Structure 1
Amino acid sequence: MSSELDEPVPVLLTRIGNYPQHHGSLGVVRTLGRLGVPVHAIVEDRFTPVAVSRHLTRGVVWPTTGREDPGRLADALLSIGRSVGRRCVAVPTDDEAAILLAEHADRLAECFLLPPVPADLPRVLAGKASMHRICADAGVPSPRSLAPADRGELVDAGRELGFPLVLKNLEPFSRLRAPAVASTTKVRDERELLGRFPTDTLPPLLVQEYIPRQQAEDWITHFYCGPGGRPRVLFTGLKLRSWPPYAGVTTRAVALRNPQLAELAARLCGRIGYSGVGDLDWRYDRRDGRYKLVDFNPRTGAQFRLFENVHGVDVVRAMYLDLTGREVPVGPQVEGRVFVAGQLDFASAAAWLRTERRLPPDLLHERATERAWLSRDDPAPAVIEAMRFMGLVARRLARSARARPDHPPSDGP
């Protein structure tokens, strides 16, 4: 699917919150811009990687935090949509944007083409506890999870699930307003758990059983579903590394066909009637031989460009074609594509080397098919990303140096 489309409908890349170094957003701009689609994108400032892409038609500077009133956020989206000049396809790249688009779809339909997802469903799926309830109802395995309301329930949760265990932010929006943890976090024992939450009042928090990485594989499923939860495209792949290690964003993954996992994802989407792009994280538990759903992200995943079918259709292109009344070419996924997320993968590989005392087995053998930042036809975003990344590292090193005492404490009086 390399040729440009006739009379393309414009797109607005929609995002809530401050995450300027997001390679998934750049992937959206590139995959649609290469088809000749006019892509407008919400950006934090004029010098983000997305803002300097040659495939971007217009960057709309609109910094948000996720703490704003949802009605006002919807008003602002309408204003941006009207400025495009015609109805456009909205592509969300975070849970909050997906929820906003779904819950205000009636109003936003004036300016945007949106998948017919039930209005409350993205919020339910993005919520960690509510997602696990849906899994239980649908017969889809998921790790045991609890949402404690106070320190007493937190202690009980730890003892019931056992240590180590995993902590996550419970709800979308609350992770921006009052984050319980910076990212998915493993805690080793009750002392460490209670040390993170010294008061009886807890932020919105999910406590989840830990599946030992030695007994697990991390898999991902990306798809686009039309009305009624019928997948138009569905892809599966194996996550090789992440940052933070074993818990965070995918830094290296390979596209691998997994019929069992594909059937699980398709059955779940059909059962709940999900429509739109989705990004699912699974953990295969060798102890009981089951794939367990860890996260259901009701929006475009950061590594979606890992996957294409034999016609060059990824999940974003599939949604765009479907919502603009075009045919979505059907075909098997391309096997063996490898996605690498730049500097984050170097950090992940270094963490692997430090822990395992050897180089990651894929480092020299799995060559990248798709890189998050580097692209021959669009080099500027990689340059901006490198500059911002080095600035981020320098600021963190400076904060660390300021936190250290000027003189080490003596051993005696």
Structure 2
Amino acid sequence: MTTAITLQQGFTLKNGTFIKNRLFKSAMSEQLSDAQHNPLPGLATLYRAWALGGLGLSITGNLMVDRNALGEPKQVVLDEQSDLTEFKNWAKQGSLNGTQLWAQLNHPGKQTPNFINKEPVAPSAIALTNGLEKGFNTPRALTESEILNIIGQFQTSAKLAKQVGFTGVQIHGAHGYLVNQFLSPRHNQRDDQWGGSIENRMRFVLSIYQAIRAEVGGAFPIGIKLNSADFMRGGFTEEESMQVVKALADAGIDQIEISGGTYESPTMTGHKVKKSTLEREAYFLAYAEKVRAITDTPLVVTGGFRSSKAMLSALKSNATDFIGLARPMSLDTQLPNKLMASDEHAISLPNLTTGVKAIDRMAMLDITWYEAQLARIAKQQQPKANLGTWPVFFKTIYGAGIYAFRKRRA
């Protein structure tokens, strides 16, 4: 065990990329695109604030690789139809102050609401459950040619990310999106080379990684966000996840961010997390400790961290190399600087509810309330810790309704 490690300490990836400290902003949904799914100028403002706040590595919210497959209404798309002007400004501002800024690349698969996409695609024609079937249509199974095309879309988006000035990319392989759907035996019941055994189910993510690597070269970092498990009966298990980690590490992936859960079982937001886990603050640290035994690929643990003390403890245990922060960053853009300045600094998050559980679930308050904070920062306003939940609910419903209407007319 090393005891000299600090949050301020730099880290050099195996490919030579230097990250100035151990504080990592995990991806959050920003919902800050224009009607053509290009970045609004506010994204550059938001990421500039985070860069000046002291982050070592910042990951963007989902950049979708297919503009016909969106997970949310106002997501940014990076493809050959994109206007790259504002992407370049975003990359420039977000990488100020020596900050690494990586673009997270994603495809939602079946996790696309039915007001956005009437016919989603997935490895197999299996619907989402746990009440989500009302808002998400049963998907159509992808053909092999479509699978190969999506791999090519990830490759193209990575090429463009490098071109506009992002300093790396991260593949989103967690939270029930398409890469995770391929990995899950619950959602992938194919009988061809893309399904069945874990070796076949991981073929999709390995193919994406290899296609991106061939495009961007060895000096450009590629990371992945991967589920430790889906936390669902019949889903992607911890044992399978460790096999995927080993395969990606052997293939040369530069960094692995550990998360867990899906829309059906949202463990990544603290849903049904054990008390003992909450006390450590890090939701997935125990899994990271197991992964450390099988690979020396740099690891990030995201989810639950609130204090300098817990972050330092996690680093000193050698279970993780970086501390992933998401929702706390929406309430204090200077949080990294404060954490590094004091071993006693901590931040608390509000318990969000309208008082009606069904409304809370419908509005996805654990996401949309924080999106509202990001919108404030993007307008150069301060976050508002006492922001009301009902206004957020009505704004969410209004925004979705307008978007749904526009899509029906298009």
Same fold (TM over 0.5): no
Higher CA-based Rg: 1
Looking at secondary structure, tell me which structure has more strand per residue: 1
The normalised TM-score by structure 2 is 0.35
The normalised TM-score by structure 1 is 0.35
